[in-house]
A and B are shown apart, each in its own frame.
Chain A
Amino acid sequence: MTRFEFHFKNINNVGAKVPLIEIRINDSNIYKGQVKDQIVAEAMTSGENKLEIAFVNKSNRDTIVNTQGDIVNDLNFELDRLVIDNIDIEHLIWDSHYQHVGGKIDGCLFFGPPGSFILEFEAPVLRWILKTNHEKNNNDPEWEEDYNYYTEAWNKIHKK
């Protein structure tokens, strides 16, 4: 099982209404409910995977504007960090997009309009992080060798 830790911030309610989400891995629900500072869930992953965080209860009435047209209250929140199997994916969180009715926004962690945050990643996530970082920056030629040393040692010590 892969462990996911979602860290959210700036969670804004409108009156008594709180933002609700559904978190899906490869289209299977792993969490449904209120947005909290931290949500932990588990799912089976292998190879290529799709993570989706859907903002499910936002409607136009949840954005309150004043007479000047300025937003004075809004049901929204932000994804702050994503930790998979105890590894913070750090800046790779920005290799995502936010899909909403009006289109797609790359690297958007703000949940304003109704829509879904979508991140495609590979499992094991450490391998994916190292490989992706090297592909982007071409500065870590030993990533695979070190990854193999680490996993071999980890598996042996934890008797996998």
Chain B
Amino acid sequence: MLAKKIAWHILVSKGLDFKQCRQAVKSFYSKSRAINDESVVDHIKKAPDVYNMMMDNNLIARFQNNFTSWIQKNKFNTCSGLELYEPDISQGSTQSFDSFFLRHPDKKHKFFLGEYLYHIVVKKNLGQKWSFIADHRELSQGDALILSVPFCDTGNAPSQLQQILTHCTEQQIPVLLDLSYYTISHGIDIDLNFDCIDTVAFSLSKTFPVAHARIGMRYTRRKSMDGQKLHSKIDYDNRISAGIGLHIIQKFPSDYVVEKYLDFYHKVASKLGLDASKTMIFADGSSDWSSYGRKELLTAYGLEDDSKFYKNRICLTELLENKQLLREFMND
């Protein structure tokens, strides 16, 4: 299989031995990580001095203000109504999820089949009320919804997004929209003018190789208050992640990754017989790809019973960052 051959080539090129390659091949296509773009990496290495970032009293505000316009200038997607919300820095999008769980402890949290694993793992382990749903009509008053847009399992916009948000508004169901993939996707148009939308979460972790710096931005209604917002109000946030985030977004626009990799992404997906998605790093594999999907990951999280709900989402990050090495395979 060409995919396996390519995976071995890339791993061997990294200097891994047979055993290491064999281990790494298993998860080669099941990841979900940003492209290690050389220009971005070089720029990250020139990040401001840590002490100066910590001592900069205006850093958080500058990052928050810049982030909003950074998102709004995206050429490939639209996100209307973001100005209705108030930004506060978040440790990736994860902190936004946790804050949402804390703010709605009595709600039954619902997720569409195939939603981000983190929610499922947290809810299961905390023994809190949750369930998968297949249709928005399964949502009713007393529920809360977390929905990734683009959808985590497919990389595409969730079907019937407008209807979902209309229904949630009618039923007074608070919604967190997880837009972590927004800046690595194209053709995504989101209208945030729905009363049900409680939180909009962004992250830089999938866009730039800064996942371990935990850089995200949460948008909530101006009147809302919780621990995360309190920290923001009293200027007690993580200035280092804000500083790194600001350093990056001042140099690279929010559509940088899509602009740079879109053509190659389509070539790779086509060559491998995958269905391209709206999200740059993901494509959908047929049943031939079942051994490359997230089955092992789900098992590692103790979610093997849920694997039937997840698609063979194939991550192409490793391929996109090895364009030179892939050249010979692409020309075959």
Contacts and interface: CB of A to CB of B under 8 A. Distances in A.
A154 B9 CA distance: 8
A154 B22 contact: no
Contact of A154 (B4, B5, B12, B25): B12
Contacts of B8: 146, 149-150, 152-153
A156 interface: yes
B175 to A, nearest CB: 45
A43 interface: no
Q: Specify which of A87, A126, A147, A157 lies most central, judged by the most chain B CB atoms within 10 Å of its CB.
A: A157
Q: Specify which of A126, A153, A157 lies most central, judged by the most chain B CB atoms within 10 Å of its CB.
A: A153
Interface in A105-160: 126, 146-147, 149-150, 152-154, 156-157
Contacts of A13: none
A152 B329 CA distance: 13
A44 to B, nearest CB: 22
A153 B13 contact: yes
Interface string B14-33: 00011001100100000000
Contacts of A150: 8, 12, 18, 21-22
- What size tier do the contact residues of chain A reach? 10 to 19
A79 to B, nearest CB: 22
Nearest to A146: B22
B114 to A, nearest CB: 29
B18 A126 contact: yes
A149 B4 contact: yes
B21 A152 contact: no
Contacts of A87: 17-18
Nearest to B8: A149
A126 B19 CA distance: 10
Q: Specify which of B5, B8, B25 lies most central, judged by the most chain A CB atoms within 10 Å of its CB.
A: B8
A157 B13 contact: yes
B311 to A, nearest CB: 24
A87 B4 CA distance: 23
A157 B9 contact: yes
B303 to A, nearest CB: 26
Nearest to B5: A149
Nearest to B9: A153
A10 interface: no
Interface string B240-256: 00000000000000000
A157 B9 CA distance: 8
A153 B18 contact: no
Contacts of B12: 150, 153-154, 157
Q: Specify which of B5, B9, B11 lies most central, judged by the most chain A CB atoms within 10 Å of its CB.
A: B9
A73 interface: no
A146 B16 CA distance: 14
Contacts of B4: 149
Q: Specify which of A86, A146, A150, A152 lies most central, judged by the most chain B CB atoms within 10 Å of its CB.
A: A150
A152 B5 contact: yes
A125 to B, nearest CB: 11
Contact of A156 (B9, B11, B22, B25): B9
A86 B16 CA distance: 12
A157 B18 CA distance: 14
A86 B12 CA distance: 15
Nearest to A130: B18
Contacts of B18: 87, 126, 146-147, 150
A157 B6 CA distance: 12
A157 B15 CA distance: 10
Interface in B20-75: 21-22, 25
B325 to A, nearest CB: 8
Contacts of A152: 5, 8
A44 B76 CA distance: 59
18 contacts: A87-B17, A87-B18, A146-B8, A146-B18, A146-B22, A149-B4, A149-B5, A149-B8, A150-B8, A150-B12, A150-B18, A150-B22, A152-B5, A153-B9, A153-B12, A156-B9, A157-B9, A157-B12
Closest 9 pairs (CB-CB, A-B): A153-B12, A149-B8, A153-B9, A153-B8, A150-B18, A157-B13, A154-B12, A157-B12, A126-B18
Interface of A: 86-87, 126, 146-147, 149-150, 152-154, 156-157
Given A152-B8, A153-B12, A157-B13, 11 more contacts: A87-B18, A146-B22, A146-B25, A150-B12, A150-B22, A152-B5, A153-B8, A153-B9, A153-B13, A157-B9, A157-B12
